[in-house]
Amino acid sequence: MRSSSVFATMPRIFSTLVGLSLASVALSSPLHARQNGTGTACAAVSAAVASQSAVATPTVSAKLAYDCITSAPFNQSAALALVDGVVPYFKWQSNTVWLKDPPEEYAEKVQSAVDIWGELEEIRKNVVAAKYENEYEFGLDLYLLLQSTHDGHFVYVPDVIGNVFNFARPIPLVSVSADGKELPKAYVYSDVLAESFGNATFTASAIAKIDGLDAKEYLENWAQYGSLQDRDALYNNVFYELATVSLGPVGSGIGTFAGSGRGRWIYPGATTELTFENGTSRTYDNYAKVLVSLVGVADGESLYKKWLTGPPSTATPSPTPSSNSTSAVPSATPTPTPRPIPAPGYPPPVVREIHNFIGGYFLEDDYSDVAILSVPSFVGINAQKEFQDTAKTFLAAAKAAGKKKLIVDVSANGGGTILLGYDLYKLLFPNEVDHAATDRFRAFESTDILGQKFSEAAGTFPRTFVNETNGNETLAILNDNIASSVFNYRSDVDAQGKNFESWADKFGPGLQQKGDNFTNLQRWNLSDVLIPLNSGGIYVHGYGPLADYTEQPFAAEDVVVVTDGYCASTCTIFSELMRQRAGVKYISLGGRPREGITQAVGGVKGTNNLPWTYIQSLAQFTVTELNNTVEESAQLRSTELGDYFDDYVFQRATIGNAININFRDGIRDNDTSNVPLQFVYEAADCRILYTKAMTVDVTAIWKAVADSTWGGKSHCVAGDLGGYATNKMVKRELTVQDKVLSKRMHAWRRDLSAKDYPLDVFTDLRDRKLQGDGIMWP
Ligand SMILES: *[C@@H]1O[C@H](CO)[C@@H](O)[C@H](O)[C@H]1NC(C)=O
Ligand SMILES: *[C@@H]1O[C@H](CO)[C@@H](O)[C@H](O)[C@H]1NC(C)=O
Ligand SMILES: *[C@@H]1O[C@H](CO)[C@@H](O)[C@H](O)[C@H]1NC(C)=O
Ligand SMILES: *[C@@H]1O[C@H](CO)[C@@H](O)[C@H](O)[C@H]1NC(C)=O
Ligand SMILES: *[C@@H]1O[C@H](CO)[C@@H](O)[C@H](O)[C@H]1NC(C)=O
Ligand SMILES: *[C@@H]1O[C@H](CO)[C@@H](O)[C@H](O)[C@H]1NC(C)=O
Ligand SMILES: *[C@@H]1O[C@H](CO)[C@@H](O)[C@H](O)[C@H]1NC(C)=O
Ligand SMILES: *[C@@H]1O[C@H](CO)[C@@H](O)[C@H](O)[C@H]1NC(C)=O
Ligand SMILES: *[C@@H]1O[C@H](CO)[C@@H](O)[C@H](O)[C@H]1NC(C)=O
Ligand SMILES: *[C@@H]1O[C@H](CO)[C@@H](O)[C@H](O)[C@H]1NC(C)=O
Ligand SMILES: *[C@@H]1O[C@H](CO)[C@@H](O)[C@H](O)[C@H]1NC(C)=O
């Protein structure tokens, strides 16, 4: 239903495909009803699920799932409540005016314009005109409106899109270059595994066509369903990748093509036909995972009633805006010890955090000088302390082992906890400036009133970090809920590093751009006593109790960062510091089968996301707890804050999934045009293509990076590392420890086999406490 102009970037093939399926449903349902007693597609799904009682996640054919979900009826009044219900939260999205009218270079190289408010109005018109055939068609329009912004912090997934089914294809792919120089081609990953570990004579044939269309065109189009903005990063995310697989259910697993990450919410058609370059053609049945009980579901109506109207009375989010809900403060309740998540293709680590969020590795033989800090996440669950400890332990171990060079691999990194990004930078460069950009957010009625009330309340008690020893529980709660908030002007400092003098001083508005108002520029006060409340409990190295950390472990020219483009949110804050301040070079991997340089940082560059539930709790807390009188509460309720008392949008969202807006923009220091970093294109220093070896052994990536940076042997197909390449790696005398490590690495590599590589790693955020204040969830 959405106008094709906005979706100019979306593949025509899919609208055709969806159109066809809709037509066939319309034609076939009455026929089926007469032909078989079980009746509808939903009844068939329900029966199929019942027959798989032993299976944790039952599956049905994609077509049957699609026929079932599209048979859920469209409910006009419910749809109207939903499109109107999102409005108060959309207002918080920092960059709608920029999305509508982006800089030319962004529109040309990254993504085209999206008019959020105009498109929402179109959807509303279609609802009012009852143009939607079924609930799914409406839900998909709403989901794709947010997704099409390619701002990974802007996400709302209606129940009809994510509650019942996740779609998948049974064939994860990879995209690799034959020799590291030729443009990459797509392969079936199990072919590459067979070739790597099966027998020496097997040669995988590249995929020439998918469903009859040119493979690379098909895949570039499919890539657009992802959440990143950069098209080469999106392309990488289509495929099986060791770094994403190592994150297990909180990553984008085996790639969007096979139904991980954002691929899980898009119907891939009934089948997928691959035509290989050798002329062979093969058709695979696509499938859907059934995520919920369908007991009692007999048709679209009963499916609608059971899963698409929200729970009878959902637990209202607590009106206490504890910073835990957004900032990842470890909860007091003990969590069960997590089981290690497999990291296929990763060598034995020197040290690794149990969720694989961060790990340190050494390379062997000629590469014995090189240490690798692999950082696929900045932690979106409760593990901030473990992350920090792992980073610190590894850097110390690398220095102790005499390592001279450091590769930081942030592939798959969707961010997590903002202050962990600052902390890792400060661990590497303790004496560099502590910021490279400033932040701001939309200045409008809601943010203004919150700021006035929070700032007023925070002035009535001391700004103190309360801990076990100086415990005053009341004061602890006040500091956690009120004082540490961004809506207290005493949090953050201004662009010059000075304290704000009042809320009005922080709020501004500082700047009007494209018709929207923004606050004055601000940045973190890393010396603030309340830092642990905003960091999941850590202090930043160089500040507070960690002020004595001053020794830089590696020179900037001995550090290089490599990414697959999937570097979002906190990862982009870290990268801005690394590039702008420390001058560290960035290498991008893979990308579309096109010549030229690509971006290394391809995910959302907004510097803070807020969950809609958190926004709601802020507003409700202000109205009901920060009022001085009953009358004042009524007055506050009559402002825009009164718009946050309805729970409907939460009831109609996919269970257990993130619901976010991008709250703060990052503005590069000294960028007098004040363009949010999200809209700034920035080429990598060097682009390296994936090879088959790199898709089964991550050390093949790290060795290519080391060669190109210090080994005088460039794998860059575009860009170059300038002076770096003259700084050759020394071939050092191997120590006893080096020799032991080499032996272990050779044994590890020799023992690898195809069965080590799971082909079923899917994104699943249900039952996870989603935390993190700078994170793009897959
Ligand atoms: C009954 O109809 C459903 C819905 O189209 C179909 O999937 C199923 O295979 C049919 N069952 C039989 C026994 O024909
Ligand atoms: C449609 O949604 C409204 C809520 O807006 C609800 O009251 C009504 O029962 C729904 N209709 C059906 C047929 O489910
Ligand atoms: C070797 O490859 C051939 C051709 O694909 C296959 O038929 C055979 O089973 C493979 N052998 C082993 C040991 O994997
Ligand atoms: C062609 O290549 C595909 C994909 O590697 C492979 O599965 C198939 O066996 C090959 N066909 C022939 C005839 O070699
Ligand atoms: C928030 O953190 C405090 C300690 O700072 C803890 O007592 C409280 O239970 C936490 N709340 C939630 C919802 O985790
Ligand atoms: C508690 O806080 C005080 C200052 O607020 C600090 O001196 C002390 O080290 C802290 N104790 C612990 C256990 O964190
Ligand atoms: C705890 O802090 C609150 C708020 O500042 C204060 O009113 C109260 O007197 C304190 N209690 C103690 C025992 O210090
Ligand atoms: C922006 O701020 C100015 C000055 O406070 C105000 O007059 C104007 O109405 C605001 N514009 C918007 C779109 O909020
Ligand atoms: C930063 O925080 C500290 C501790 O809360 C405070 O004393 C200081 O005034 C703040 N601002 C600056 C600019 O340091
Ligand atoms: C604040 O408003 C609430 C109602 O929203 C009321 O129950 C409460 O008594 C008010 N607080 C004060 C201090 O008046
Ligand atoms: C911005 O300009 C100031 C003043 O010239 C300078 O100190 C600072 O380093 C610059 N920031 C960056 C990121 O270059």
Say yes or no: 582 and 695 in one domain.
Answer: yes
As a whole number of angstroms, the distance between CA 410 and CA 574 comes to: 10
Q: How many residues does the chain have?
A: 778
**542 and 462 assigned to the same domain:** yes
Instruction: Report if residue 716 sits inside a domain.
Output: yes
- Residue 515 within a domain: yes
Q: Are 574 and 536 within one domain?
A: no
Give the number of the atom of ligand 5 that is nearest the alpha carbon of residue 318.
13
Number of domains making up the chain: 3
Q: Is 398 in the pocket of ligand 1 (CB under 6 A)?
A: no
Are 528 and 632 within one domain? yes
Residue 770 has pLDDT above 90, yes or no: no
In tens, the pLDDT along 143-158 reads 999 999 999 999 999 9
Residues 541 and 397 reside in one and the same domain: no
In a domain, 102, yes or no: no
331 Cα–ligand 5 center, Å: 5
Residue to mutate, 36, 46, 299, ligand 1, most ligand atoms under 8 Å from C-beta: 36
Residues 6+ apart with CB under 8 A from 468: none
Supply the pLDDT for residue 310. 85
CA 101 remoteness from chain centre: 24
Q: Is the CB of 64 under 6 A from ligand 1?
A: yes
Task: Look at residues 636, 655, 675 and tell me which one is the last residue of a structural domain.
Answer: 675
- Which parts of 36-134 fold into alpha helices (H)? 41-50, 62-69, 76-85, 87-90, 96-100, 104-109, 116-128
User: Is the C-beta atom of 198 inside 6 A of ligand 3?
Assistant: yes
- Of all ligands present, the nearest one to the C-alpha of 459 is 7
Tell me how far apart the alpha carbons of residues 609 and 67 are, in angstroms, rounded to a whole number: 35
pLDDT mean over 226-255 = 98
Please give the full DSSP string across 166-207, using - where no structure is assigned. Answer: EEE-S--EEEE-SSSSSPPEEEEHHHHHIIIII-TT--PPPE
How many other CB atoms sit within 10 Å of the CB of residue 383?
A: 26
Angle subtended at Cα 773 by Cα 257 and Cα 469, rounded to the nearest 5 degrees: 140
Q: What is the pLDDT of residues 268-318, one digit of tens each?
A: 999 999 999 999 999 999 999 999 999 999 999 999 999 999 875 444 444
The range of the structural domain enclosing residue 632 comes to: 10-19+437-547+607-645+663-675
**Does residue 633 fall inside a structural domain?**
yes
Q: Let me know if residue 404 belongs to a domain.
A: yes
Contact call for residues 45 and 290 (beta carbons, < 8 A): yes
**176 — phi, psi (to 5°)?**
-135, 155
Atom of ligand 10 nearest to the CA of 628: 13
Q: Where are the alpha helices (DSSP H) in 237-360?
A: 242-245, 300-307, 324-327
Any ligand 8 atom below 6 A from CB of 512 = yes
Q: How far is the CA of 280 from the centre of ligand 4 (A)?
A: 6
Helix axes 215-223, 12-35, angle to 10 degrees: 80
- State the ligand closest to the CA atom of 481: 5
Starting from the CA of residue 199, give the closest ligand.
3
- Ligand minimally distant from the alpha carbon of residue 190: 4
The mean pLDDT of the chain is 92
Ligand 3 neighbour 278 (Cβ under 6 A): no
How far, in Å, from the CA of 493 to the mean position of ligand 11? 16
Report the pLDDT value the prediction gives residue 567, as an integer from 0 to 100: 98
d(CA 238, CA 222): 8
Distance 337 CA to ligand 5 centre (A): 20
Same domain flag for 495 and 616: yes
Q: Tell me how far apart the alpha carbons of residues 199 and 197 are, in angstroms, rounded to a whole number.
A: 6
User: Does any domain span residue 385?
Assistant: yes
In a domain, residue 55? The reply is no
Q: How far does residue 43's CA lie from ligand 1's centre (Å)?
A: 9
Q: What percent of the chain has pLDDT over 90?
A: 87
183 lines ligand 9 (CB under 6 A): no
Same domain for 600 and 613, yes or no, is no
Q: What is the pLDDT confidence band of residue 676, given thresholds at 50, 70 and 90?
A: very high
Give the pLDDT score at 351: 98
| Residue 449 and residue 413 share a domain | no
- How close is the Cα of 41 to the center of ligand 1, in Å? 7
Mutate which of 521, 523, 669, 677 for ligand 11? The one with the most ligand atoms within 8 Å of its CB, which is 669
For 567, left (φ over 0), alpha (ψ -120 to 50), or beta?
Answer: beta
| CA nearest ligand 9 atom 13, residue | 498
Answer yes or no: are the C-beta atoms of 170 and 285 closer than 8 Å.
yes
Q: 36: CA distance to ligand 2 center in Å? A: 29
Residues with CB under 6 A from ligand 11: 436, 580, 669-670
Instruction: Look at residue 284 and give its three-state secondary structure.
Output: strand
Residue with tokens 């991980």: 260
pLDDT in tens, 26-48: 333 333 333 333 589 999 999 99
Rounded to an integer, the average pLDDT of 72-96 is 98
Sheet of strand 437-440: strand arrangement: 493-494, 522-523, 437-440, 660-668, 608-611
Q: What is the DSSP string of 196-258?
A: III-TT--PPPEEEETTEEHHHHHHHHHTTSS-S-HHHHHHTTS--HHHHTTGGGTTTT-TTT
Same domain, 669 and 690: no
The stretch 82-99 carries a mean pLDDT of 98
Whether residue 52 is contained in a domain is answered as no
On whether both 475 and 456 belong to a single domain, the answer is: yes
Q: How far is the CA of 482 from the centre of ligand 7 (A)?
A: 15
pLDDT tens across 234-245, in order? 999 999 999 999
Q: What is the pLDDT of residue 38?
A: 58
Distance from Cα 371 to the centre of ligand 8, integer Å? 52
Hey, whose CA ends up nearest to atom 14 of ligand 10? 629
The CATH number of residue 734's host domain is 3.90.226.10
Mean pLDDT of the region 526-551: 97
Same domain? For 459 and 356 the reply is no
Q: Whose CA is nearest to atom 4 of ligand 7?
A: 475
Q: Is 470 in the pocket of ligand 7 (CB under 6 A)?
A: no
pLDDT at 723: 62
367 and 407 together in one domain = yes
Nearest atom of ligand 2 to the alpha carbon of 80: 5
Q: Average pLDDT in the 452-470 region?
A: 92
User: Which residues' Cβ are closer than 6 Å to ligand 6?
Assistant: 465, 467-470
What is the position in ligand 1's atom list of the atom closest to the CA of 32?
A: 2
